[in-house]
A and B are shown apart, each in its own frame.
Chain A
């Protein structure tokens, strides 16, 4: 049996990331009008789940992660009432966001949540996952930087999140580092330990150009939820480009319930025009994928590069070497300053 036939008729749920991961690519500067225009086009194209928050999720507004133009509540209150069929979701990273903020997002109409931890730290999420379930939200455990954990250990982390109440476990390729074989081994390991009713999701970044191929590989091993964003609007070289992924699904007979032509049109007419820079594989974003660095570090590293005179690529490679993880954006300036001192470009205040 060929692969095309084996996936024929498989139903998957697409979750758009333009208005959350895409906030990173917009330096969190997205207007309410832009949010509403993207969200209503996604809703009209049949995308069932749309994530809407600051790029770093609930509690993300900070000096560390940047202040968005509006609060998460203001964005949610603008988008949710306009939705005809789509459900709106949020991101919550424990240590940054709290249950108070989740309650507030729920009160504004969010009905699904990615509760995200680093791929080895699932046990920082029990309160938040349990609380999301108590609210009746569609709850996913989201294991970030999943390339940094082995398939078996990742599966144990997923099992923990399932035990707290997560209904879907995501393998999150935050660095866009994985290749299809890496994805397959991790989905298979999760599938082997999770309850049959627990879904598996894959969230890709396109830093090595593998977003679509990795998502298909995940589906082949039993994943049923795929995160993507129209025109790839997301951190680094962007997320799995949603309209490309839907086109491939149509060719393979995978059912997404989305209208391909509407998605193609909105990518071209709505999303690309609002990009501040072309979200694509370039020297810096390719470095993220190659070195296994958190995609959100991209624009921070570019700014540190301009300020301290250290090439972006050097900073990113050093961050990868030091095994910095998502949330450690402060260490980008710190690392650039340390490198600048070593290269005689900066003097120590105590010197």
Chain B
């Protein structure tokens, strides 16, 4: 079967784990990995797994995009360089899946709104945050049954699974996830809390979701909707599991979840990273299905190349 060729930008933990996820796909094929450090362990591993690599950043990939037929790129670098990476690749007709907090494209949770983005032929979709991927499906599972005035999520993450970028920019994580609870989850107000726990051995990612419904919650319907949603997410994150709940106190619905990773490149406790790479892969597959079915043709998207003075 024909596969859609992919490039991975960023040779860190996320990029490396993505190789495994994409290799497993029946319709995606990882072809290039882009880094900035020739000595990087991620690039060496990618070469060992049969990928072409460059340590010259995205510019090192651009001359090969057309020749190698790259149609989808995953950006696991940082919010600061994402916009430029995306612009350069979109110009060559490459669809960008953004795993950084840059969020210049629409926010996407596969089980909630991916179909919509694929149908619209978006050229850049953003994966929000690990907490967003783990909790927004549940918020949506409640809000599709009845109005949610307020949703709040608490993500507990093991210390070893949180890299320096997220640590130094926790506010961005908070803002992006809070916004997505509204925009994608369907709550009228959203709040996200992150806790980093250093326990050894590392704890699995835990997520608690609280929703305040407008009217008295329909317990049976909400429970059914949540259980159904969990089954959907489990299709791409098998370790996504309900631990306790839903429980109901007045208009408050509480759900207690756990995410274990697949243990590809990242250990099982890093469910937070795994759910990002799994969601990104699922997203790419949905677009790839459309492309292969002839329903979607990626076209170069030209955006003005701003010079430094124009930005200033």
Contact = CB atoms under 8 A, between A and B. Distances in A.
Interface residues on A, range: 20 to 34
B131 to A, nearest CB: 10
B111 interface: no
B256 A95 contact: no
Contacts of B210: 63-64
B256 A325 contact: no
Interface string B170-213: 11001100000000000000010111111100010010101010
A349 B244 CA distance: 8
B55 interface: no
A337 interface: yes
Contacts of A322: 199, 203
A123 B223 contact: no
Contact of A95 (B159, B174, B246): B174
A124 interface: yes
Contacts of A148: 198
A334 interface: yes
A121 interface: yes
A282 interface: no
B245 A118 contact: no
Given A123-B164, A323-B197, A337 B247 contact: yes
Contacts of A100: 171
B252 interface: yes
B199 A337 contact: no
A34 interface: no
Contact of B168 (A64, A99, A123): A123
B167 interface: yes
A124 B245 contact: no
Nearest to B157: A95
Interface in A76-120: 94-96, 98-100, 118, 120
A5 interface: no
B245 to A, nearest CB: 7
Contacts of A63: 150, 152, 210, 212, 252
Nearest to B211: A63
Contacts of B245: 337, 349
Given A328-B156, A331-B206, A349-B223, A127 B197 contact: no
Interface residues on B, range: 35 or more
A338 interface: yes
Output the residue of B168, B169, B195, B244 with the most chain A CB within 10 A: B195
A62 interface: yes
Contacts of B198: 118, 120-121, 148, 325
B171 A127 contact: yes
A62 B256 contact: no
B49 interface: no
Contacts of B227: 349-350
B197 A118 contact: yes
Interface in B200-255: 203, 206, 208, 210, 212, 223, 227, 242-247, 252, 254
B112 interface: no
Contacts of B296: none
A301 to B, nearest CB: 16
B128 to A, nearest CB: 17
B154 interface: yes
A333 interface: yes
Nearest to A101: B171
A341 B196 CA distance: 27
Interface string B263-301: 000000000000000000000000000000000000000
Contacts of B194: 95
Output the residue of B152, B167, B203, B242 with the most chain A CB within 10 A: B167
Output the residue of A325, A334, A341 with the most chain B CB within 10 A: A334
A334 B206 CA distance: 10
A327 B195 contact: yes
B171 A94 contact: yes
Given A94-B170, A98-B174, A123-B164, A62 B195 contact: no
Contacts of B208: 64, 330-331, 334
A126 interface: yes
Given A95-B170, A99-B171, A127-B171, A64 B154 contact: yes
A36 interface: no
Nearest to B207: A330
Given A330-B256, A334-B208, A64 B171 contact: no
A221 to B, nearest CB: 25
Interface in A286-330: 322-325, 327-328, 330
A95 B193 contact: yes
Nearest to B195: A327
Contacts of B168: 123-124, 126-127
Nearest to B224: A349
Given A127-B170, A330-B208, A118 B196 contact: yes
Given A64-B154, A350-B227, A338 B197 contact: no
Output the residue of A118, A148, A328 with the most chain B CB within 10 A: A328
A324 B158 CA distance: 11
Contacts of B191: 62
Interface in B46-83: none
Contact of A64 (B159, B193, B203, B223): B193
Contacts of A99: 171
A100 B246 CA distance: 33
Given A330-B208, A350-B242, 17 more contacts: A62-B191, A63-B152, A64-B193, A64-B210, A118-B197, A121-B196, A124-B167, A324-B197, A328-B154, A328-B195, A330-B154, A333-B244, A334-B206, A334-B244, A337-B244, A341-B244, A349-B227
Interface of B: 150, 152, 154, 156, 159, 164, 167-171, 174-175, 191, 193-199, 203, 206, 208, 210, 212, 223, 227, 242-247, 252, 254, 256
Interface of A: 62-64, 94-96, 98-100, 118, 120-121, 123-124, 126-128, 148, 322-325, 327-328, 330-331, 333-334, 337-338, 341, 349-350
